[in-house]
Amino acid sequence: MEQFKKITIEDKNILTEHLSLRKYRACDLSIGNLILWSDVYNTQFAVAGDNLFIKFVEGNNEYFTFPTGKGDLKQSFEWLFDYCKKHDKEFKLNVVDPSMFEEIENLYPGMFEISYQRDNADYVYNVEDLKNLSGKKYHGKKNHVNKFKKTHIDWSYEKITDENTPECIEMVKEWCTQNGCCEDKSKADEICVLIKGLKLRKELNMIGGIIRLEGKIIALTLGEQSGDDMFIIHFEKAFSHIDGAYQMINQQFIINELAGNFTYVNREEDMGVEGLRKAKESYYPAFMAEKGIVVRK
């Protein structure tokens, strides 16, 4: 299959077959992200020479991913060079980590350059840190959690199931109304993708959790496993007027679903949004998963 086609849920197996051969720290190449966001980013894939290529389309720009699979790497790059030439597209790779660029340099010394965008780097945390919230640096987070528990006696945690999924969708719609999705396309897109994720949770092997307060869902989270030691949080929503709701779903999901099963949790990038960056930095990541763009010099 040497033609690019749009990614759908039916492509899950072929994507998994190739992407599972390499350990990714970035969230972009997780199966859930590729399938759920395919409508928004017109995400496509092709298989050539037993290697998988992903293509992201943004307006007139096309970005490709590093070839992944059992095929010959140099032959795969030559195929991609020919594709770009034939379709009059600039050769651009995206979501390239330092180890990938090293492989490119070994094949084509000095031909390409990479630039890393801080806004796109993923925040990767130690699961144990977010579970325990120990030490002075997490004092504020722990205070929010303790205040929530002291103020609200009637709260509970649940895993997302078929039975509570309809309630989750209603909670997300209410969050959308409260947070101005009608005036913000990016928020509206994210909510549509989140609802799609809730509906396809089982098919995509995703895991989620909710916090109830007096029986009502006030916070939820949803994500998926990546490799053998990392979990990616794709979505996290809570009613912000309830103090501590975000901190509670963060910690309770870690305690109930991730602790003991994973070493790291990836909470994705901040996209350069100041408030989001401050929030993500305040949880003290173990490291940042860098993602670069590669072009010809």
Exposed e or buried b for every residue in 19-33, given b needs 16+ CB within 10 A?
Answer: beeeebbbbbbbbbb
- Report the share of the chain in percent with pLDDT over 90: 95
SS3 assignment for 270-292: CCCCHHHHHHHHCCCCCEEECCE
pLDDT digits (tens, 9 = 90+) for 165-176: 999 999 999 999
Identify whether the C-beta of residue 247 lies closer than 8 Å to the C-beta of residue 258: no
Tokens of 160: 């997302």
- pLDDT of 95 over the 90 cut: yes
- pLDDT of 51 over the 90 cut: yes
Measured at the CA of 155, the angle between CA 152 and CA 161, to 5 degrees, comes to 160
Outline where the chain has alpha helix (H).
12-19, 31-36, 38-41, 73-86, 98-107, 127-132, 139-151, 165-178, 185-199, 245-253, 274-281
pLDDT digits (tens, 9 = 90+) for 5-37: 999 999 999 999 999 999 999 999 999 999 999
- pLDDT of 71 over the 70 cut: yes
Which is the CATH superfamily of the domain at 123-268? Gcn5-related N-acetyltransferase (GNAT) (3.40.630.30)
Residue 33: name the closest of 184, 226, 209 by CA: 226
State the average pLDDT for the chain: 96
Tokens of 71: 């095929």
- The per-residue pLDDT for 1 is 58
What does 161-201 look like in DSSP terms, one character per residue? -TTTHHHHHHHHHHHHHHTTGGG-HHHHHHHHHHHHHHHTT
The domain defined by 5-120 folds into: Aminopeptidase (3.40.630)
Distance CA 293, CA 114 (A): 5
Distance CA 295, CA 297 (A): 6
Read off the pLDDT of each residue in 128-147 and give the average, rounded to a whole number: 97
- All CATH 3.40.630.30 domain ranges of the chain, comma separated, are 5-120, 123-268
